[in-house]
Structure 1
Amino acid sequence: MAPAVVLLHAFPLDKRMWDDVVGPIADSGWDVVVPDLIGFGESVLDEDDLDETPSLAAQARGVLSILDQIGLSNVVVCGLSLGGYVAMEMIRQDPSRIAGLALVDTKATADTEEARANRLRVADQVLESESTEALSRAMLPNLLGATTHQTRPDVVEKVRGWIREADPIGVAIAQRAMAARPDSLADLASLAVPGLVLWGSEDTLSPRAEQDLMVDAMRDARFVEIPGCGHLAAVEAPEATAAALITFLRDVERLPSAT
């Protein structure tokens, strides 16, 4: 039996960002699991969650717990941006569960001091204002590619709405967790299963040099560039994203360990 596919969403969105990708993958014969990460979408949060030190480890444990609940021990994990960070943390926690790894518009290096300080500042701001309105204005110009901004106003407005709906507590927890994340290149190097690095050609948040580092780190990696989209390839170019993932999944399925 082919492994199921787990799709992990970007910051500060939720599982809805995969809506146009799930159908083609499912139609191609794979079971698809699309969870909301802690603090987003339908997940439950309250102020007490801020008392614990936010971490990607907790996010990964949450995903692994969902897999336990539905009885999945053999999965291909695909993470976009924050989802990629969580996927790499899953490798550290339970690599035996991972049959393949797809990293989309993300990076394996840790934040610089400047980036870390900015994340912590944003976390404080959204908690103080109890709103993500300012976050949507700040993020949107760089979150989507120039082509999307110029030609797809419907996508721009959809993403703007998703950011505005995000829970400020969830945003703060995720920002603090990402600020504390480790470098994951050594973890990628330890991974024996196939990997895919998928990148939107207009993504300035996770530049091409970061993609090359991940490809070079993995033992069995493929690289696919999707033209005309930025940091949210699954939203900006869902058909191309789904096609690339399906091709990768077929590669994984052909391996003896995936059956």
Structure 2
Amino acid sequence: MPLPIVFLHAFPYGPAMWEGQLGVLRDHPVLAPDLLGKESLEAAAAAVLLAMDDQGWDKAVWVGLSMGGYTAFRLWSLSAERCAGLVLADTRATPDTPEGRATRAEQAARIRREGLGFYPDLLLPSHLGSTTRARRPEVVERVRRLQLAADPEQTARSLESLANRPDSGPLLGQIHVPVLLLVGEEDTITPPTEARQMAHAIPDSRMLILPEAGHLSNLENPKAFNTALLGFLAELRR
């Protein structure tokens, strides 16, 4: 039986960001839970484990992008034995800097005052790579719509959860399942240097840089992302 897969979405998006992956994984049982608005990443991870329980899955491959990667680290901390393999895309193990935490607090306060209308213009320049912004207006518009579809209070709460996340660096050397690290070559939030550092620290890991993609590599270069993901899943089945 093909391995079950749990897709863990980025902030401030929902499960809809994975549509391009769900469409090519018809042979695999999949879950794409909504993580936005949880009071902590540990709470998000606990909800994922309950969702796996509901499906009767002892193990699954966890695929996390950005906030989804942070959640995957919390999942590993809570229940490593339930991980069959790990895909960490456009993410990092380190916590926020004090400046980063202050920025998230300011954004959360502004969202609670004003709503989300201002947020896409703030996020798009860093969430999407230069190639996407210059050549793929349909992707830019789709990402804008996904951002505006989020619930404002849940978005603010997730900002606070992200700001308070722990340092997952000490976990890297303990990860004993195969790990695929994916990163957009134009990702300025969690650049390839971050992925390379994690690859050096995780024993059984491999890393791929996806061309012409920024922080949302699965949306910006779905062909490269899906090819890498399918190859990794085939490797796990051997």
TM-score by length of 2: 0.97
Of 63, 67, 91, the residue aligned with 1:78 is 63
Partner of 1:103: 88
Provide the identity percentage: 40
Of 160, 174, 189, the residue aligned with 1:205 is 189
Partner of 1:149: 133
In the alignment, the residues of structure 1 paired with residue 165 and residue 116 of structure 2 have an alpha-carbon distance, to the nearest angstrom, of 23
Instruction: Give the C-alpha shift of residue 3 in structure 1.
Output: 2.1
Cα deviation code 1:135-161 (max 9, x no counterpart): 111001111010001111011011111
State the aligned residue count: 238
Partner of 1:8: 8
Partner of 1:45: none
State the secondary structure of the residue aligned to 2:188.
coil
In the alignment, the residues of structure 2 paired with residue 14 and residue 243 of structure 1 have an alpha-carbon distance, to the nearest angstrom, of 22
Describe how 1:1-259 pairs up with structure 2 within 5 A. 1-26=1-26, 29-39=27-37, 54-129=39-114, 131-254=115-238
Which consecutive unaligned segments of at least 5 residues does structure 2 have? none
Runs (4+) of structure 1 exceeding 6 A deviation are none
Cα deviation code 1:94-153 (max 9, x no counterpart): 001001110001111111110111011111111122x11111110011110100011110
Give the alignment's Cα RMSD to 1 decimal: 1.1
TM-score by length of 1: 0.89
In the alignment, the residues of structure 2 paired with residue 158 and residue 207 of structure 1 have an alpha-carbon distance, to the nearest angstrom, of 23
2:184 touches 2:191 (CA, 8 Å); kept in 1?
no
Cα deviation code 1:43-93 (max 9, x no counterpart): xxxxxx8xxxx2110111111111111111110000000111101100000
In the alignment, the residues of structure 2 paired with residue 64 and residue 185 of structure 1 have an alpha-carbon distance, to the nearest angstrom, of 22
State the secondary structure of the residue aligned to 1:215.
helix
